[in-house]
């Protein structure tokens, strides 16, 4: 079976709680060699990176896949050390030749309000 083939478009793939802790933020900044980065708010890319980690635990991306695009939109502040709810959807899937073009959208909610969105595009080799 090809990657995510069992899911319909706009079907929810995953839901989880995520928290950008001070420790995670320090590890992220260190791994990316970001200096002078002090904020009480989560940055767009650390948010997308941590949610990717949760996603990959459940849906490992097949070898040979290529990440071709990424969008992240912050709609409000996301304070560090606060839990937010993440909902992941399959937003696009199309088979072209021997590959499947897949878009995975994540919505980040705090207190029932959408505070950010992200969408990654992958090209996954067909089995």
Partner 1 sequence: MELKFKSIEKFISEQKVQEYAEVSGDFNPIHLDDNYAKKTEFKNKIVHGMLLISNINELMFRNFKDSWNKCGTLKIKFRNPLVVNSKLITKGKIKKIDKNNDGTLYTCEVMCNDEDDNILINGIASVLVQE
Stretch that binds partner 1, among 3-11, 76-84, 92-100, 104-112 (CB under 8 A): 76-84
Interface with partner 1 in residues 4-33 (CB under 8 A) = 24, 27-28, 30-33
Q: Can you read off the two tokens belonging to residue 125?
A: 């080799």
Q: Distance between the two ends of the chain, CA-based, in angstroms?
A: 7
Which of residues 14 and 72 has its CB atom nearest to partner 1 in the complex?
A: 72
Confirm or reject binding of residue 114 to partner 1 (CB under 8 A): no
- Residue 74 CB contacts under 8 Å (≥ 6 apart), including other chains: 44, 115, 116
Nearest-10 crossing angle of helices 22-31, 44-58 = 100
Provide the binding-site residues for partner 1, judged by CB under 8 A. Answer: 24, 27-28, 30-34, 36-37, 39, 41-46, 48-50, 52-54, 56-57, 61, 63-78
């Amino acid at each position: 079976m090809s990657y995510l083939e069992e899911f319909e478009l706009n079907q929810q793939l995953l839901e989880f709680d995520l928290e950008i802790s001070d420790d995670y933020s320090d590890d992220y900044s260190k791994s990316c060699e970001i200096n002078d980065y002090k904020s009480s708010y989560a940055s767009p890319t650390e948010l997308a990176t941590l949610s990717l980690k949760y996603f990959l635990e459940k849906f490992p991306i097949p070898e040979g896949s290529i990440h071709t695009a990424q969008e992240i939109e912050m709609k409000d502040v996301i304070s560090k050390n606060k839990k937010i709810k993440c909902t992941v959807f399959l937003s696009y899937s199309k088979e072209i030749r021997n590959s499947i073009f897949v878009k995975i959208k994540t919505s980040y909610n705090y207190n029932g309000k959408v505070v950010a969105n992200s969408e990654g595009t992958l090209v996954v080799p067909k089995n």
